[in-house]
């Protein structure tokens, strides 16, 4: 064995007798009760020397010394567990875990972190689109990759964020599809007597998001004064389980007024709940008798699809019930700022953009009224 002795703290380089490969090693002291001595293997002495110099430079500036051939998969695993999980909400962790698992890791996971190029990312996006992945999801995956590589730059593992060099695919701006007034009447008739009638009725009358709605507890509802306190929501976490999470966003946490027909329906539901002998051991408003847990969102979405198909209504998402609520308020000439507050949007511009068609119609109607009054 050929051994290249070096000064203490400079690491070591030697040729391994078993296979002739060159080994570089650097003692970084103790970390969490274990000796930290990264060791890597190369085909040539030149490669080993170059890598050892990189390791020493990283050590001297207190940067993390990771293996030279760390793959994107390796780094994402570390990023999820050590950066995202301790510092972000559970649903944020689940969101990133799903994006990386479904779209990033299958094609880019084995790529060495330091060799990921703009060409790799451009070809990756094109491949996803060819496979039928929507432009929106490819864009979200690109943004997730940018976030991951930004952390790698912060840890001085790479110098360039290659994902920033590639534009994500263009996506068409989403246009809300609320139900028209006659469709709302048809929908309300169709849900009467259905198992999840109260879920849909409350959605139409409050504009709550599906997670907020299924996460409602009895202490969140004041049927006498007709208020709902939005304090949290249900989120699906890794593994598919539902978890209640308190709302941290100031705009999402709010007290909203509810119409009498919703308050009366909730009051009647609570009375039945209290009188039931087999009531669920749970405080969730929409708890099932069998488990005490709220229904899964997928159960509600399936019921919604069955209702729209049976009534020949246009196919809608659950979120379109929220848009229906917002559109109805605007149709009743509720002030745009008030609608924005009731929907708990970040700002009034979000409301105007989301309900562009309805809002434009209101502005046109206002202009027509001026014509009637002052036009010649």
pLDDT tens track for 222-255: 999 999 999 988 877 666 677 788 876 666 678 8
What average pLDDT does the segment 2-24 reach? 73
User: Are 257 and 296 members of one domain?
Assistant: yes
**pLDDT band for position 213 (cuts 50, 70, 90):** very high
362 has pLDDT over 80? no
What average pLDDT does the segment 175-188 reach? 88
Mean pLDDT rounded to a whole number for the chain: 84
Lowest-confidence segment of 52-61, 211-220, 265-274, 322-331 by average pLDDT: 52-61
2 has pLDDT over 50? no
Lowest-confidence segment of 106-115, 180-189, 279-288 by average pLDDT: 279-288
364 has pLDDT over 60? no
**pLDDT band for position 264 (cuts 50, 70, 90):** very high
182-219 burial, b at 16+ Cβ within 10 Å, e below that, comes to ebbebbbebbeeeebbbbbbbbbbbbbbbbbbbbbbbe
User: Are 256 and 146 members of one domain?
Assistant: no
Q: How many CB atoms lie within 10 A of CB 297?
A: 17
Distances (CA, A) of 280 to 242, 266, 272, 287, 288: 17, 16, 12, 7, 7
User: Are 149 and 217 members of one domain?
Assistant: no
**pLDDT band for position 349 (cuts 50, 70, 90):** confident
Which residue would you say has higher pLDDT here, 280 or 211? 211
pLDDT tens track for 29-59: 776 666 777 777 788 988 888 888 887 877 7
Q: How many CB atoms lie within 10 A of CB 46?
A: 10
**pLDDT band for position 189 (cuts 50, 70, 90):** very high
Distances (CA, A) of 273 to 222, 228, 270, 353: 16, 18, 5, 41
State the virtual CA torsion across 30, 35, 37, 39 in degrees, nearest 10.
-160
User: Are 266 and 308 members of one domain?
Assistant: yes
Percent of the chain predicted with pLDDT > 90: 41
What average pLDDT does the segment 103-110 reach? 95
Q: What per-residue confidence (pLDDT) applies to 159?
A: 83
Q: Does some domain include residue 8?
A: yes
**pLDDT band for position 279 (cuts 50, 70, 90):** low
End-to-end CA distance of the chain: 103
CATH number of the CATH domain containing 87? 1.10.150.130
**pLDDT band for position 365 (cuts 50, 70, 90):** low
Q: How many CA atoms lie within 13 A of 346 on its CB side?
A: 5
Q: What per-residue confidence (pLDDT) applies to 359?
A: 55
- Domain extent at residue 272: 181-366
- Token pair, residue 326, equals 């917002």
Would you give the DSSP letter of residue 102?
I
pLDDT tens track for 124-137: 999 999 998 989 99
User: Are 214 and 340 members of one domain?
Assistant: yes
Q: Does some domain include residue 139?
A: yes
- 242 class by beta-carbon count within 10 Å (0-12 exposed, 13-18 middle, 19+ buried): middle
Q: What per-residue confidence (pLDDT) applies to 54?
A: 80
Lowest-confidence segment of 192-206, 273-287, 335-349 by average pLDDT: 273-287
User: Are 126 and 203 members of one domain?
Assistant: no
Q: pTM above 0.85?
A: no
Beta-carbon contacts of residue 6 (< 8 Å; ≥ 6 apart): 12, 13
Q: Does some domain include residue 65?
A: no
**pLDDT band for position 360 (cuts 50, 70, 90):** low
User: Are 104 and 235 members of one domain?
Assistant: no
- Token pair, residue 242, equals 């539902």
262 has pLDDT over 80? yes
CATH number of the CATH domain containing 260? 1.10.443.10
310 has pLDDT over 80? yes
pLDDT tens track for 85-106: 998 878 788 889 999 999 999 9
Q: What per-residue confidence (pLDDT) applies to 1?
A: 44
What average pLDDT does the segment 159-171 reach? 91
Last residue of a domain, one of 18, 37, 60: 60
User: Are 239 and 306 members of one domain?
Assistant: yes
Return the SS3 of 198.
Answer: helix
User: Residue 184 is inside which H or E element, if any?
Assistant: helix 181-191
């Amino acid at each position: 064995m050929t051994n290249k002795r070096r000064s203490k703290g400079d690491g070591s380089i030697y040729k391994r007798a078993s296979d002739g490969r060159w080994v570089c090693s650097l003692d970084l002291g103790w970390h969490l009760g274990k000796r930290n001595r990264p060791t890597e293997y190369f085909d040539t002495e030149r490669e080993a020397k170059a890598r050892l110099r990189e390791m020493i430079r990283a050590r001297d500036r207190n940067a993390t010394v990771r293996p030279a051939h760390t793959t994107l998969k390796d780094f994402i695993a570390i990023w999820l567990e050590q950066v995202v999980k301790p510092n972000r909400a559970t649903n944020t962790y689940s969101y990133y875990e799903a994006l990386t698992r479904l779209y990033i890791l299958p094609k880019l996971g084995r790529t060495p972190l330091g060799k990921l190029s703009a060409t790799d990312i451009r070809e990756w996006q094109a491949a996803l689109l060819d496979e039928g992945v929507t432009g929106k999801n490819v864009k979200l995956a690109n943004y997730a990759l940018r976030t991951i590589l930004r952390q790698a730059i912060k840890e001085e593992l790479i110098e360039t964020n290659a994902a920033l060099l590639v534009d994500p695919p263009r996506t068409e701006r989403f246009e809300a599809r609320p139900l028209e007034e006659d469709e709302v009447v048809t929908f309300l008739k169709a849900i009467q007597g259905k198992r999840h009638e109260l879920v849909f009725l409350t959605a139409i009358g409050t504009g709550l998001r599906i997670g907020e709605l299924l996460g409602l507890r009895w202490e969140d509802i004041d049927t006498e004064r007709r208020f709902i306190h939005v304090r949290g929501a249900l989120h699906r976490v890794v593994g598919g389980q539902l978890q209640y999470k308190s709302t941290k966003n100031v705009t999402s946490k709010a007290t909203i007024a509810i119409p009498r027909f919703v308050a009366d329906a909730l009051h009647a539901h609570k009375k039945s709940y209290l009188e039931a002998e087999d009531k669920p051991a749970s405080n969730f408003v929409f708890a099932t008798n069998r488990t005490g847990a709220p229904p899964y969102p997928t159960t509600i979405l399936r019921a919604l699809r069955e209702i729209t198909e049976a009534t020949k209504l246009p196919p809608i998402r659950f979120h379109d019930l929220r848009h229906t609520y917002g559109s109805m308020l605007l149709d009743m000439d509720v002030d745009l700022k008030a609608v924005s507050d009731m929907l708990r949007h970040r700002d009034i511009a979000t409301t105007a953009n989301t309900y562009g068609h309805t809002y434009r119609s209101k502005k046109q109607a206002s202009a027509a009224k001026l014509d009637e009054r002052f036009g010649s």
